[in-house]
Amino acid sequence: MSPWTRLLLASAVAGVGYFAGAANAPPVPVPLDVPAEVYATRGDNGPEEALRTALRDAKASVDVAAYSLTDPELVDALLDAHRRGVAVRIVTDREQSRQAPQARQLKRLREAGIPVRTNTYAGKMHLKLVVVDGEIAFFGSYNLTRSAATRNDEVLVAVRGGDAVRPLAQKFDEMWTDPRYAPLP
């Protein structure tokens, strides 16, 4: 793994802990010798296709912590996974969930029976994390929006394998069970 990828991976993992409300918690150890794939927008290896493929191939679970979730194609992929019997869970930002574009997509997910939770605390739920089957995790600056895919400079890192994914999946589970995250009414 290149030094740039190691730094990006370490920074992203540190950000997961910080933005999940655990800024004072000890760092989450993640092995840095794991294979990582870095996807960048405005290039040949865009994140949206990697995400859609992982969602299409999901067998058991998809956990999404997304500050902004407005891309209808990614929402379609989440709905397709849910229809195949994959357990899908969404955590998003309360303020973002009230904005019309995101509210429309969250309504589609909730009407299909996908549980959605939002933060109840004053800060933002600013993560961009997708964990698929506990075996692959995507994280970075990439919001799940068309703007992120087509107009912004964004990166999305994918790590594979239990040792690398487990701490990220645990962070999602901590958020999911944290009373500061409530079901979206």
**Residues with catalytic roles:** 126, 128, 133
Beta bridge partners of 37: 158
Torsion angles phi and psi, residue 113, rounded to 5: 100, 10
Residue type present at position 12: A
What is the CB neighbour count within 10 angstroms for residue 7? Answer: 11
How far from the centroid of its chain's Cα atoms is residue 64's Cα?
4
Please say whether the beta carbons of 96 and 67 come within 8 A.
yes
SS3 183: strand
